Chain A
Amino acid sequence: MFFQELPLKKIEMMGPEVCRLGFASREIAGKARPGQFLMIKPQAWAEPLLPRPISIHRVQGGMVELLVRVVGEGTRRISSMRPGEILEVKGPLGRGFQVDPQKVPLLVAGGMGAAPLLFLAEKLSRSGARKKNRAPVLFIGGRTKKEILALKEFRQAGLKVLAATEDGSFGERGLVTDRLRDYLEAQSAESALYACGPVGMLKAVAALALKEGLPCQVSLEERMACGMGACLGCAVARKQEEGPGYAKVCQDGPVFEAGEIVWDE
């Protein structure tokens, strides 16, 4: 784990609400694993006080890329940065996806959930995990076409893409989990699910995985202060031997086995 103050190399808006930014850090790029995240904060601003957790979207050589959706003051400040301005970066943090090379990877992305899954997809294609007829599949969904992110990059990484939008503006009309359900009903290959997106979607994916008896990893979100296991702020209810207790999303996750999580809280 590193704490670095790095000049922003590039930043571009991907639409009205989402930006993609990149910086160079050989240390972070070298250690980063798909599913891990960074705590970031523009140095020029004292406020908001706390850094914000953002997934690692892509690593190319020594460059690290992030995809940020503007939802409030912290992400607005991040998105308004200019190249050359200093970003404070802590990471890579947390436990990422643990890929089972024996199984066909099925990636499930809802909205911003596409961000960490591109890193996983590119890692899978680089490690040659896709053999004949065993190419990874991406299930991607959002409310509208605008919310479908990084499609070109996923295709370049060799993933078969099955998309759904709630308004039907891209892919099939409906939910991404509808497409996943149809696929699983028709398909018999040994597969493993890797999902990131809104909690409602993750819950539905976890239920499908349980029904089909498939291994399933989900990436969760919670409010964070430190991102490094020190404040105990990022609690998520987890099944434990002694009964339900709390795990730390930043350290025990953000990627969890779907079966570990207490979904109804």
Chain B
Amino acid sequence: MNRLTKPDLSVTIAGIRMKNPVLTASGTFGYGREYAPYFDLQEIGALVTKGISLKPMAGNPPPRICETPSGMLNAIGLQNVGVEAFLRDKLPYLAELGIPVIVNVLGHSLKEYAEVASRLDGQRGIAALEINISCPNVAQGGLAFGADPRLAARVVSRVRAVTRLPLITKLTPQVSDIGCIARAAEEAGSDALSLINTIPGMAVDIHTRRSRLGRINGGLSGPAIKPVALRLVYQAVQAVSIPVIGLGGIRTAEDALEFLIVGARAVQVGTANFIRPRACLEIIQGLRNFLMSRGINRIENVIGTIRP
């Protein structure tokens, strides 16, 4: 191709066309507006919101974050404004951005997932729902819904029954067989998958002998988790025929390319946004440069090209 023409970065996932494959990861991009002073949000492929529950949630006591080698632990505790305040105060702004907006949905019971999803159904400005099945299931002593394929499938089918919006199921890495969970979500009606959520971890202050977080456990994110994430994404791609969105530790265009090459059709950027608020933009530009320097005219021609 002519090295001067701009390559085509667009991808289509679950019927949603995105002008590039770079999305924001839930919980790292607020409700969008926080980043507007730093760059034009219309540049990103799609925006994923903080997880939304039925009622507002106060979250965990501080400290909620601590840095670890090449990563960070967070114990935010799913703090969010609740679905009603989201629709009233946050969605109108997002709906005007002109990019696909994906709302991350969380629940503590099957019923809560379905109630949040049905409240979001039919609202102008929402392109899809991302179901966070890493949440603790209150009825089963806090074990994550996403840890059990049958339970994961039940969450997806309950949500499927109440909305026509495309569904992206977000998987937890804390499972023994990712392919099994991935297939369960696909069979229950999920249109796409995203992975990985944070990896459970902890850190101890040796002077006080307490957790360095307000809770014992936190979720690990950032560059430290990238190799783990990449392998799980690769395995999920092998297991299903629906599109997979890869994330975990992506900081540069090169990181994003690794995920695309193993078969992810798009990527999400999380922790990197905290370090460089224009991280998504820099990754998009880096993808464009990569394609141009190699004379590749479409990002599609990179996806799933891992060699044996």
Contact = CB atoms under 8 A, between A and B. Distances in A.
Contact of B70 (A41, A49, A231, A237): A49
Where chain A touches its partner, the secondary structure class is loop
Contacts of B30: 228-231
B61 A50 contact: no
B34 A3 contact: no
B69 A231 contact: no
Interface stretch (B71-79, B93-101, B177-185): B71-79
A229 B34 contact: yes
Contact of A226 (B58, B60, B71, B274): B274
B222 interface: yes
Interface residues of B, number: 35
Contact of B34 (A223, A230, A233, A265): A230
Contact of A232 (B38, B59, B70): B59
Where chain B touches its partner, the secondary structure class is loop
A49 B63 contact: no
A33 to B, nearest CB: 16
A171 to B, nearest CB: 30
B37 interface: yes
A230 B223 CA distance: 19
B62 A223 contact: yes
Given A3-B38, A49-B72, A223-B66, A231 B28 contact: yes
Interface in A216-260: 222-226, 228-237, 245-246
B274 A230 contact: yes
A47 interface: yes
A231 B27 contact: yes
A235 B37 contact: no
Nearest to A236: B62
Contacts of B66: 223
Interface in B25-70: 27-30, 34-35, 37-38, 50, 58-67, 69-70
A51 interface: yes
Contact of A233 (B61, B64, B70, B273): B64
A50 B71 CA distance: 9
A102 to B, nearest CB: 33
Contacts of B222: 49
A228 B34 contact: yes
A88 interface: yes
Contacts of A3: 38, 276-278
Contacts of A265: 61
Interface string A8-44: 0000000000000000000000000000000001000
B277 A90 contact: yes
A88 B76 CA distance: 26
B275 A41 contact: yes
A48 interface: yes
Contact of A1 (B28, B38, B271): B38
Nearest to B63: A223
A235 B29 contact: no
Interface string B188-223: 000000000000000000000000000000000011
Contacts of B62: 222-223, 234-236, 246
A231 B198 CA distance: 14
B34 A232 contact: no
A235 B61 contact: yes
B63 A228 contact: no
A48 B28 contact: no
Residue of B27, B60, B79 with most chain A CB atoms under a 10 A cut-off: B79
B37 A88 contact: no
Interface of A: 1-3, 41, 46-51, 74, 88, 90, 222-226, 228-237, 245-246, 265
5 contacts: A48-B67, A51-B274, A229-B30, A232-B59, A233-B65
Return the 5 tightest CB-CB contacts between A and B, nearest first: A230-B30, A233-B65, A226-B274, A1-B37, A230-B34
